[in-house]
Structure 1
């Protein structure tokens, strides 16, 4: 998950669709970028940087997934 991208979007009160329209990509593509399933092209990364006013490297940093808590094993 790219938490900086998600947090930046939510801070502005925008939906994924609103951001995707503003930067000229599909909602599906934006969703995949935000969840870390896809890396943006250099051009799209630059658009995100300009839109949010935050460096692309910070916006697109992938946070390691937290391991699921393990229950009691018998």
Structure 2
């Protein structure tokens, strides 16, 4: 995706017209149109103003992905009560079938005991509560996974 498309999608997601953006930035509507069609580029000051207007960081604006933003908003706006109703294993199992079948193959207790020891250690050494210790451990595993190919 190019910057023009990112600017267009971010503006649309913000519910603003080209005229409204132009007025807020003190430029013409044609200027906004040229930015969105990649005919010209905003300078760094204007790009920063656009990012602020669209409630994004400059990096997010440059890499704006409307689908990713929608997913982030759904997660952010989902209450704890609703999250507890979701069968996450079933949901993720559609994408990763192993999540629905490993329970019949793996001696879960062996791993559960070790993982409990690790979360207990995080709680003891850093004062984390249960959920924070779990999330830190999950993130450590994700980092291991993400760096294994490097």
TM-score tier, shorter chain, comes to 0.5 to 0.7
RMSD: 1.8
Q: TM-score, normalised by structure 1?
A: 0.67
Partner residue, 2:17: 15
Is the CA contact 1:6–1:34 (under 8 Å) kept in the aligned structure 2?
yes
Unaligned 5+ segments in structure 2 are 64-150
Indicate which of 4, 7, 31 corresponds to 2:6.
4
Bigger Rg, structure 1 or 2? 2
Cα distance in 2 for residues equivalent to 1:6 and 1:13: 11
Unaligned 5+ segments in structure 1 are 62-74
Cα distance in 2 for residues equivalent to 1:6 and 1:41: 16
Cα distance in 2 for residues equivalent to 1:34 and 1:59: 12
Is the CA contact 2:14–2:54 (under 8 Å) kept in the aligned structure 1?
no
Is the CA contact 1:4–1:58 (under 8 Å) kept in the aligned structure 2?
no
Partner residue, 2:33: 31
Cα distance in 1 for residues equivalent to 2:27 and 2:59: 19
Partner residue, 1:42: 44
Number of aligned residues: 61
Structure with the higher fraction of residues in helix conformation: 2
Cα distance in 2 for residues equivalent to 1:10 and 1:22: 15
Deviation at 1:11, TM superposition (A): 1.6
Relative CO higher for 1 or 2, CA cutoff 8 Å, sep ≥ 6? 1
Cα distance in 2 for residues equivalent to 1:59 and 1:9: 10
Cα distance in 2 for residues equivalent to 1:3 and 1:22: 20
